[in-house]
Amino acid sequence: MVGKKRLEEILNNFSNARIAVVGDVMLDDYIFGSVDRISPEAPVPVVNVKKETFVLGGAANVLNNLNSLNAKVFAFGVIGNDDNGKRFLNVLEEKSIHTDGIIIDEKRPTAVKRRVIAQNQQLLRLDWENKANITADVEDKILEKIKNNIDNIDAFILSDYDKGVLTARLSSEIIKLANENNKIVTVDPKPKNHMNYLGATSITPNRKEAMECLEVESFSDEEDLTAQMFKLKEKLHLNNLLLTRSEEGMTLFGNDEAETISTVAKEVYDVTGAGDTVISVFTLAKVAGATWFEAARIANTAAGIVVGKMGTATATPEQITEFYDELYNS
């Protein structure tokens, strides 16, 4: 347990932390409307649009989480030379997120997921994306930006949505640079790319992702799960591994011990983006002076907040303090 005074000390240090996020940034576009008739042209509903909103998605949701937690945030990623790219940069600039590391690639569109929603039901999703790996030239541009800013960065979060930005070369070069400069690197991995993250500080897979990394179909019991997680930790040469386990909470696998933290969500409405919140708070709390176990417990509390909200939500330090106090110190 983290005492209230200790928690407040860590949260107060969030504003001094400088976190870089590298990964597959995108925009989530929500179109809200109503349906009261079927089209005469085809058997599909006609949506009368009432409102359209844009929110940060993919790796950019990690940026949004960190921004809500008062950290200084540096964005590294790729967008297209298009209206959605301009819209994306405007959102970052409005939040005072550093955009110098965002590379414009003329050959790629800005990644967008557009959802059409009516009567509280999602009717359709349209995706604009290019999942091919970025070119060596774009890799070089991102690496140059990182090298120019590394003295102003305390930790890196690599947010992999498997859209081509976190290539094997780019990932390994970032980890090498971070290790040479004593910077933390945490990774939210895609299983097919997990070997790209050899030598990172920590990864934060969910149970399914961990099984895919290990190429196993299940864990026979808790003892088997623990042994397999330590195996994955050693395989990737990690300092620790944080396994998120849905209703079972999360488990932090350190040097020689594993600590399980029970889930704290009161009600679960939407788990969308919960993993982004976990890695954001986990990394930020460590930079702010927490131990890794304290960081995991605070991240678990933040996840309990966001799953009680609809959509890709975030938590603030004030909400974490209030919820944590309700859970542990009442």
User: What is the DSSP secondary-structure string of 59-114?
Assistant: HHHHHHHHHHTT-EEEEEEEEESSHHHHHHHHHHHHTT-EEEEEEEETTSPPPEEE
CA distance 23 to 25: 6
DSSP β-ladder status, 240-244 and 250-253: antiparallel
CA distance 217 to 204: 19
Query: Cβ atoms within 10 A of the Cβ of 106, count?
Result: 7
Residue 309 CB-density burial (10 A; 0-12 exposed, 13-18 middle, 19+ buried) = middle
Active-site residue, from 24, 29, 154, 276: 276
Q: How many residues does the chain have?
A: 330
Q: Is residue 127 annotated as a catalytic residue, yes or no?
A: no
H or E stretch including 210? helix 207-214
Active-site residue numbers? 276
